[in-house]
A and B are shown apart, each in its own frame.
Chain A
Amino acid sequence: MRHPNQATLALHAGGDLGAMRGWWTARHVARCAECREGVAGYSEMRELLPELAELPEISWNRMAAEVKANVRLGLEAGECVRPAELPLQHGTVKGWRAAVVFASVLVLVGGCLVLEHPAPQPAHVYAAQNAIESTRDGIEYQAGESGTMRLMNGGAQKAIYTLDAQGSMGARYIDPETGSVTINTVYAQ
């Protein structure tokens, strides 16, 4: 005869088995003195346990007042701590986001600058042996050893020079006498 294990007997004593298993165990226990004794032991134990439900004498009103006051205190302390924590978390998140955005912008601007000004010398544009240079009087184009061409700014004191990554240089200025605007662009090839 196969006996139910102790866990099954323990559950059977409290009526905690499922219908089929309960029925099988009950049938076995009815015939088996050893298992019956086991179930009786568990039942005896279960009868003792409710003693643990007894409460000592408690002044409920005093305790309720204390609990309420302490709960209020705890909640307020929690509120005091919370605002200090949250900005820190938000600040950290914002800081990270700002750093990423800042780094991206920096990379973008750096990239644009490199693309716009690939040559280290802003005042010179080299094309093979040729060079364009801005001078005090205008734009000077030097074709290797063979010769130099100079495009004068017509006496303008303040000319604005622009360099192009493609190898050109431009000068914009206003003629002080006529007031006309002149734009010169020299392409080096």
Chain B
Amino acid sequence: MATTVLIGMSDAIEPVLELQERQNRFVSQHFRRIFVQIYRLVQNVADAQDLTQEAFIKALQHQEQLKDEQKAAHWLSRIATNTAIDFLRRSGRATFCELDEAPQGHSESPEAILLRSEHREYLEDGLRLLSARERAALIMRDVEGLPAEEVAARLNCSKATVRSHIANGRTKFRRYMERRKR
């Protein structure tokens, strides 16, 4: 009797462990790429980390979609983009980059760090003028350098719509830059 129960339990536990192992592998494999993708949209490390976790949880809750590895990567990117866009819409607030999070080289002086931080803030202020989708389209196209087709696939919309988002994003951003120059 006891032996039977034991065999039954190990049979039940093994697939669970295997599943967890597979999930961990999936997270390790895509974590960095997804974090960077989200970070570029939200421009804040803490938010990007939270949203990365959220994107992975959403993806892993629908594991049946993850059988094909290439499709899974693409699908995960879409989830990450949507999660970040939802966040930007929801929060509608400024996401300032902390000074100690600012990109820095080891040889940079404090003045250089400050200048860089100010410049980044200047760019982020411009991004805040765009809608969530305009911002996402502009970053994917002009920061990540993705082709418009890929941007359309990630945003789940047509190429024409993406072009419109990109054009609006660039026009607004340029107007902002001109205003700041004056």
Contacts and interface: CB of A to CB of B under 8 A. Distances in A.
Interface of A: 6-8, 10-11, 13-14, 16, 41-42, 45-46, 48-58, 60, 63-64, 66-68, 70-72, 74-75, 78
Given A49-B142, A51-B120, 14 more contacts: A10-B170, A16-B163, A41-B178, A42-B170, A52-B40, A52-B127, A52-B139, A55-B39, A56-B102, A63-B35, A67-B56, A75-B23, A75-B61, A78-B61
B32 A13 contact: no
A45 B56 contact: no
A48 B103 contact: no
Which secondary structure dominates where chain B touches chain A? helix
Interface residues of B, number: 49
B153 interface: no
Contacts of B54: 74
Contacts of B166: 10-11, 14, 16
Contact of B31 (A6, A13, A46, A64): A64
Q: A8, A13, A55, A78: which has the most chain B beta carbons within 10 Å?
A: A55
Contacts of A51: 119-120, 123
B167 A66 contact: no
Contacts of A78: 57, 61
A71 B171 contact: no
B61 to A, nearest CB: 6
Contacts of B163: 11, 16
Nearest to A66: B49
B109 interface: no
B155 interface: no
A166 B7 CA distance: 69
Contacts of B40: 52-53
Contact of A16 (B141, B143, B171): B141
